[in-house]
Amino acid sequence: MAQEYQWRLGESSLIYTPMATSPLARTHRGLEGRVKAGKSAGGKSYGYDINRSPLPDGTFTTGDLVINETEAEIIRRIFTDYAAGLSARRIATALNEVGVPAPRAPTWSFSTISGNWKRGTGILNNDLYIGERIWNRQRFVKCPQSGKRQALPNPAETWLREPVPELRIIDEELWDAVKERQGATRSAILEARCDGDGPQAHNGRRARYLLSGTAECGNCGAGYIMISADRMGCSAARNRGTCQNRKTIKRLDLEERVLCGLRERLMTPEMTSTLWRPIRPKAAKNGAPPKRPATKPNRTSPRLRVRSTISLKRLRRACFRRA
């Protein structure tokens, strides 16, 4: 029988691959068999240790995991705090304050906890914690331009699910509570984006501009949002058509007006005296005026100075225009 050859058309050449996919296919079949046998196909999730038990022939077992009780307590704490309403960022901060070691980094971050729910990454999305191992979620391909590997998701029908009840750390009730809150948070963010008000900083991404989420329409009270690259307008008039206010304003002009107003009305001798009045008795009692704490120089200082300079230039320009 004639051998069937495979050809792959690349961007710059035609590559002959008669056996290139065979080792890959054999490795994939081998890993699939390991998972079906209840073994780990590679890697070690936070909360588990590799169990290397001796065999009669002098070798050791491979692919067996056991629960690390110390890390399991941290996992239960994360799930409990999140179900109680704490954000992933606050949980990470609390763990760093008490010096809990992070899985693969010096400190915890919110992404380590929240991860990506579609890809099953992050502490809150690891199905192994409820005694189910899911394999073949994604595949890796090499980018021809950069030469780096890229992870691409596989269809859900190709996933391999195997129960491993001995590795369960989180009970079903707590898991369901976390999944319910994650779903509610995603729905709230999507709804806010559809309404034009944008996601709140504690639920989604941080505010991008100075006045994001604070400017409101004087006619209907809806949020003023970015409706183009540099202009802001009423979200109700833009997205719903329920407001007659079609006026727009440049974002930089609005920011300049606010900064100029703060400088003219807040940074005056009268206001400075008012702000200093409750501090003066404490300073006199201590025998010395309060000093601003010294800040250690860091690599972000030049950027901060540049931003301050830009703000002052905008402030002067805004004041000149108003004059």
- The H or E element containing residue 163 is strand 160-163
Domain identity same for 121 and 34: yes
**Which of residues 190, 205, 233 is at a domain's end?**
190
Cα–Cα distance for residue pair 163/141, rounded to 1 Å: 28
Domain identity same for 78 and 173: yes
Token pair for residue 90?
A: 């606050």
- Is residue 80 in a domain? yes
The pLDDT of residue 11 is above 70: no
pLDDT band at 312 (very low <50, low <70, confident <90, very high): very low
Domain identity same for 105 and 174: yes
Number of domains in the chain: 2
In the prediction, which pLDDT does 298 show?
42
Tens digits of per-residue pLDDT, 228-278?
888 998 887 776 566 788 889 999 988 888 888 877 877 778 877 787 777
Domain identity same for 61 and 111: yes
Domain identity same for 64 and 170: yes
- Is residue 212 in a domain? no
- Is residue 34 in a domain? yes
- The H or E element containing residue 311 is helix 301-322
22, 32, 36, 138, 289 from 27: Cα distances, Å: 9, 9, 14, 15, 72
Pairing state between β 231-234 and 224-226: antiparallel
- State whether residue 56 is helix, strand or coil: coil
Domain identity same for 61 and 169: yes
Domain identity same for 239 and 182: no
Give me the domain span that covers residue 256. Answer: 224-269
CA-nearest of 53, 73, 77, 54 to 64 is 53
- Is residue 262 in a domain? yes
Tens digits of per-residue pLDDT, 102-140?
888 788 888 889 988 888 889 999 999 999 888 888 788
Mean predicted lDDT score pLDDT of the chain: 75
Domain identity same for 37 and 83: yes
Domain identity same for 177 and 234: no
- Is residue 296 in a domain? no
